[in-house]
Amino acid sequence: MRQLTLIFVLFFIGNTVFSQTITGKIVDTSDNPIPYVTLQIGPNYGVITNEEGVFTLETDNFSDSDTVSISCLGYKSLDFQLSNFTKLTYVLEDSISELSEVFITNKLLSIEEILENVRANVSKNYATAGKQTVFMRQSSNFKLKDFGFDVAKSSNFNKSTIKEINKNFEEMSKGIVNSSSNQFEDTLLDLLHTADSTQSHIIKATKLVNIDKDLSTGAVNGKMIKSVLNVLDSSATYKLKTGLFTIEDSLKVGKVFKDETNSKTGKTSTINNTVANIIKNNSLSENSKLEFIFGDKGYDYSIDGISYINEDATYNISFKPNKRSAKYEGKMYVNTSDFAVVKLEYQFAEDRSGQKVNMKFLLGIKFEENAYRSTVIFKKNENNIYDLYFISQENGNYVYLNRSLKFIRNNTAAQKDKQYLKLDIMIEQDFKAKSELFFIDHNPLANVSDFEVTEEYPITFLSKYDASIWKNYSVLSPVQDIINYKTD
């Protein structure tokens, strides 16, 4: 018995099970952080570095003899035993070659031939359906450039009262104009993607926002409107109009412009639509934003060399517009053997923008999508099919809104007086948003009827970032702005 006990002791000494959180940073030879580097332990667990090159590994249930593999397109891969994975910083060397060094005996294809092969192999190279677990981080920044809020008319206030109310609103506006605010949302979800639909089940969600300093359009307008809605009859319904247009015919005041900034629940449909649109924008399909692949007539291309990820070589292809109708510039990385696009980096080219609406003088509305940038990474699975692995999509918008809102009570037989409230609202705002999707795992398409979908999900509001919430999950490490963020 003593001999058997000794054998067990020696076994566990030689195969220590790690149970700790390891945080570190990946940099290049010039000490610049490398974003979106993969760190893998075994076939089923991996993480990716954030935009600052920082990673967090949870090593529960791994032994000291397990291997940590570090890989990134364009850099030489590294492997470490977990027991030796103790540094705070790891340096990756470039792995880029000239075309002539690689294709000495093989035929060098033209750009047109490479793109033709990319398009011809899309259906074979990419998964189109399945169940995925996704971690999404949304970062938002609101800058209020100008703001105005006035009570124009009211059956409940005389002129002197309206004047005093508007004076107070003017002082409040001065305190927030030219200010900015940030907020961060982390969401873990299961995603069921079929050929014609996307469904989501939210596993966990957190929100980091300073409610008192929130400058999102809904929050700013909501606070102002709520401060005057108490003059209306809470038991009645109202017709709600903006300019000449009727928005609602029978609206309860208590439900008007409900401020959901501090709501403890979120709408699953909102998250689902956001994720589905980001995936649609960045997937290899003709209805995506990837016009430089599927509508290449407006672009100039050049092959800049060959990069490697592990043993796979990729063409490094740069592109830029040569026609006004083309919007994007960037790079794509195409596998030289199967012609799969394994990585994309693209953005609005100089003097290009997205959707525009300018009806400032007619309807008091102006909108411009003035910034767009996206990074997309695909990863080959054990079946040699490419799955989405990571997407970072950034948007910048300018919004101007100068409209009136008018509440007109729907009277009953017992109500003879006319009750109304007219508000004039003007807001000019720059909005920047960044959504990062890390696809943690992929599974074959399950029985759709077994997939659980709920209309709402709970949100945990944080006063500061709490890493323990995401213990045992493969998530993006927080960037420094999140670490430094406090709501008090």
Q: Report yes or no: 437 and 133 within 8 Å, Cβ to Cβ.
A: no
Query: How far is C-alpha 189 from the geometric centre of its chain's CA atoms?
Result: 13
Does 289 share its domain with 165? yes
Domain co-membership, 142 together with 37:
no
Domain contains 123: no
Tell me, yes or no, whether 114 lies in a domain: no
Q: Which domain holds residue 80?
A: 2-94
92 with 107: CB under 8 angstroms? no
Contacts of 438 (CB under 8 A, 6+ apart): 48, 134, 135, 136, 389, 390, 474, 475, 476
Residue 309 lies in a domain: yes
**Is residue 264 assigned to a domain?**
yes
Q: Which residues contact 311 (CB under 8 A, 6 or more apart)?
A: none
pLDDT tens, position by position, for the chain (488 residues)?
444 443 333 334 344 444 588 999 999 999 999 999 999 998 889 999 999 999 999 888 788 889 999 999 999 999 999 989 989 999 999 987 766 555 544 567 899 999 999 999 999 999 877 889 999 999 999 999 999 999 999 998 899 999 999 998 898 888 899 999 999 999 999 999 877 788 999 999 999 998 888 888 878 877 788 778 777 888 888 898 987 788 888 888 766 555 454 568 899 999 999 999 999 999 998 889 999 999 878 999 999 989 998 888 999 999 999 999 999 999 999 999 999 999 999 999 999 999 999 988 888 899 999 999 999 999 998 889 999 999 999 999 999 999 898 999 998 877 878 888 999 999 999 999 999 999 998 877 667 777 888 899 999 999 999 999 998 888 999 999 999 998 87
pTM reported for the whole predicted model:
0.88
Pair (466, 400) in one structural domain: yes
List Cβ neighbours of 186 (8 Å cut-off, separation of 6 or more): 135, 136, 137, 138, 205, 206, 470, 475
- Residue at a domain's end among 70, 94, 118: 94
Domain boundary among 37, 66, 94: 94
Total domains in the chain come to 2
Q: 331 with 317: CB under 8 angstroms?
A: yes
Say yes or no: 250 and 377 in one domain: yes
In the numeric block, which tokens belong to residue 485? 């963020």
Q: Indicate if 39 and 171 belong to the same structural domain.
A: no
Count of CB atoms situated within 10 Å of the CB of 164: 12
For residue 258, give Cα distances in angstroms to 207, 222, 254.
18, 7, 7
Residues 36 and 164 in one domain: no
Angle between helical axes of 159-174 and 217-229 (0-180°, round to 10): 150
